[in-house]
Amino acid sequence: MSKVISGFSKLSKQEKMDWLAENYFNNEEAVVKTIQQYWNSDEQLQQLHDDFIENTLTNFYLPFGVAPNFLINKETYVVPMVTEESSVVAAASLVAKFWSTRGGFKTTVLGTTKIGQVHFMYAGASDDLIAYFNTKKSDLYAATASITQNMEKRGGGILEIELVDKTDKLEHYYQLHITFETKDSMGANFINSCLEAVANNFRNEQIEIVMSILSNYVPNCLVRAEVSCPIADLGGDDPYKFADKFYQAVKIASIEPYRAVTHNKGIMNGIDAVVLATGNDFRAVEAGAHAYASKEGQYKSLSFCEIDNGIFKFWLDVPLALGTVGGLTSLHPMAKLSLEMLQNPSAKRLMEIIAAAGLAQNFAALRALTTKGIQHGHMKMHLQNILNQLGANALQKEKITNYFKGKTVSHSGVVAKFEELK
């Protein structure tokens, strides 16, 4: 029996649920109950969430936590984080406090420009195309005037339009490579609207427009976050040995792609959590960051370490295309609350805050890896998840948590203790 359906989007929410439960689940009543229990009791708020995407049935919750004590450029922040992974928020909080007494995080925005491209095919003489482009260039700017006027008032707009010959890679392939400044807006809709206007003005009988789209590779929308202190101030039993192992761990991630991917995933644990909390596009940020990590032809660490004259320095360079106005940042109540928590930052300031969160997470992971091992802290934080999976009651949770204080947590160990208590 075919389960293909026409007109699904036109069904009411209840009809969508009923069809789904009837066709893909055994216990229809339980499915509908699960879906409905995540509805917001405020109908207006629920409708707002329903309208974010298509065919909405319910809400999918993720924990919203905060990491206090982030000292960034001499200002203290409480950083909102949305993530499902245990130990991420705890690690960021711990490291933020650690560095708050050692000068904090120093951040610098190295650039804010973004790229969009009109991809097209042209089989004629390249000199003729160059001449055509040069005569049309001013018209291309004019074609976007109605779109760019408000952005230009805020100091943004189109910075440059270049003709790029890519025929050595693909026969007849050229592009218009356009540089944008979008200020406090992430700018995806703005950039794409400009590109389509440019393409419509540029096309002729010999030029076949293939597509017009922004790029999520933003190597010139870049921010640096760093921490530094005398090695002796790193603390621990042997800070010099720790600094040396930490340095080696970062160097390994710079030459070994298998390690670099996991190394950078740890950075993105911190970055994505704040990107999500502020209503920004974490998929675009992820794609851009990993492309940047491969910019030299091999995937490498996004962070760096240096030890010089007794000073330990650790820093991160990462591209971040973010917005603090428009899109979900202006619609989602929790995204708005997150931005208010961060003192309503500009897009530049948000880049700095998020880069600091990524560096904090990376420092936490590397410190754990080079000392006690990553699982010691992670499994300790994961303990409550295991207990919830087992259905432990409050008294059992308390007894098992106390039992594992000072011990390494393992899933099998928790299960054994739970069965013993039962």
> What's the rounded Cα separation, in Å, for the pair 49 and 333?
10
The ranges of the chain annotated as CATH 3.90.770.10 are 64-109+225-371
Residue 1 burial by Cβ neighbours in a 10 Å radius (0-12, 13-18, 19+)? exposed
**Which of 3.30.70.420, 3.40.50.300, 3.40.50.1240, 3.90.1150.10 is the CATH number of 114-214?**
3.30.70.420
User: If DSSP codes are grouped into helix, strand and coil, which group holds residue 311?
Assistant: strand
Bridge partners of 158, per DSSP, are 180
Q: Which fold has domain 64-109+225-371?
A: 3.90.770
Confirm whether pTM is higher than 0.95: no
- What is the number of other CB atoms lying within 10 angstroms of the CB of residue 419? 9
C-beta separation of 119 from 215 below 8 A: no
Q: Catalytic pick from 49, 97, 265, 290?
A: 265
Q: Please say if 85 is a catalytic residue.
A: yes
> What's the rounded Cα separation, in Å, for the pair 322 and 99?
25
The candidate with the shortest Cα–Cα distance to 289, out of 253, 321, 259, 314, is 321
CA angle 345, 351, 354 (to 5 degrees): 100
Q: Please say if 265 is a catalytic residue.
A: yes
Residue position matching structure tokens 């298509």: 54
CA angle 161, 164, 170 (to 5 degrees): 145
C-beta separation of 322 from 354 below 8 A: yes
Q: Please say if 15 is a catalytic residue.
A: no
Q: pLDDT tens digits, the chain, 422 residues: what are they?
A: 458 899 999 999 999 999 999 999 999 899 999 999 999 999 999 999 999 999 999 999 999 999 999 999 999 999 999 999 989 999 999 999 999 999 999 999 999 999 999 999 999 999 999 999 999 999 999 999 999 999 999 999 999 999 999 999 999 999 999 999 999 999 999 999 999 999 999 999 999 999 999 999 999 999 999 999 999 999 988 999 999 999 999 999 999 999 999 999 999 999 999 999 999 999 999 999 999 999 999 999 999 999 999 999 999 999 999 999 988 888 999 999 999 999 999 999 999 999 999 999 999 999 999 987 655 555 666 677 788 888 888 888 888 888 887 777 777 888 888 888 77
The ranges of the chain annotated as CATH 3.30.70.420 are 114-214
DSSP string, 138-207: HHHHHHTHHHHHHHHHTT-EEEEEEEEE-TTTSTTEEEEEEEEE-TTB--HHHHHHHHHHHHHHH--TTE
> What's the rounded Cα separation, in Å, for the pair 232 and 134?
60
Q: Catalytic pick from 300, 378, 382, 417?
A: 378
Q: Catalytic pick from 50, 181, 281, 352?
A: 281
C-beta separation of 350 from 279 below 8 A: no
Q: Please say if 378 is a catalytic residue.
A: yes
